[in-house]
Amino acid sequence: MDDAAYGERNTRGVWKPLAPIVYPPVFVWPARPVAFLKWLLGYPGFILPWNLLYVLLSIVLWLYLTPSLETMRSLGVGWIGYLLLRNTGIAFGFYGAFHLRLYVLKAQSGNFKFNPKWLAINNRAFLLGKQTADNMILTLASAVPIWTAYEALTLWAFANGFIPIVSFEEHPIYFVCVIFLIPLWRELHFYLVHRMLHWPWLYRLAHKVHHKNINPGPWSGLAMHPIEHALYFSGILIHWIIPSHPIHALFNEMHAALSPAPAHTGFDKIVVGKEALIDTESYAHYLHHKYFECNYADGVVPLDKWFGTFHDGSLEAEKRMRDRLINFRADRQRHAMD
């Protein structure tokens, strides 16, 4: 499929979509109910494809691949180790599928790829000099254990009644409403954590590890310092406060654990047939990796727009970001000299 129908390449081979990034018609006035429903139920939209995938996976995990509440009443190596192996398999399968198709098989060549360069293989900034190996090690050796620790502790709290379980049978409307609110909570939590990680001292301590991936690939999504993993996956703690069900907590964690894969593919769309495309919704975050000080969150809630850090991909926004980056670097040099 020809990506020229959807975007354009500059003289350096960098591809970008024709249309600038826009927020969905949610936080707008006057309200646009028809446009809202099209976005909510349409494709791509709020439910399809990614949120539905994460919800369904969470339900399957709870019903078939999670120990019983009785087993989880006591913290034990056996069931926690099982969760660790299960989550390792999920991460390896999900992230690996994107990487295999786009970067190993190169099934769509460079179509819809933002940066024409492929992942680094001789770069001393990465462990073993290889970007993919570095990213996989950080994901499997740090992200998955910390994600599992949060999940195990929360499930243990549910099992012991420290967190009341709200069942679908007794409160169906509330149950569904919490499902819909979790992606919004994830955006707010991610934005706050992400802005904090860009404080200079915390950036140098931890977040710079993730930003080595200027040209990200799927495994870059969870390639973070352990401190960042601890902050990033802490969003599940909302279920210690808000009445919910273990399915809600699993959805929260699946969203946090898996959504970075499509967001870091480096491709705007995935070609799955002669005419079929899957939107990765990754352009906003790709611009964050390119310019650093923009698009701290992307999705439904226009936090970046409200706080003046939104980059929509247009030439005007690019000029603003370049000026901002120049000023940012000048400030850092002045602080270094003081």
**So what's the pLDDT on residue 313?**
92
Count structural domains, the chain: 1
> Cα(277)–Cα(297) distance, rounded to whole angstroms?
24
> Cα(132)–Cα(125) distance, rounded to whole angstroms?
12
Q: Domain span at residue 225?
A: 3-337
**So what's the pLDDT on residue 155?**
98
Token output for 39: 């976005």
Task: Read off the pLDDT of residues 96-146 as tens digits, 9 standing for 90 and up.
Answer: 999 999 999 999 999 999 999 999 999 999 999 999 999 999 999 999 999
Low-confidence ranges of the chain (pLDDT < 50): none
**So what's the pLDDT on residue 317?**
85
> Cα(40)–Cα(34) distance, rounded to whole angstroms?
10
What backbone phi and psi angles, to 5 degrees, belong to 257?
-80, -35
**So what's the pLDDT on residue 273?**
79
> Cα(189)–Cα(277) distance, rounded to whole angstroms?
30
**So what's the pLDDT on residue 24?**
95
Looking at 216-314, list the stretches that DSSP marks H as alpha helix, in order from N- to C-terminal side. Answer: 226-232, 246-258, 260-263, 283-291, 303-306
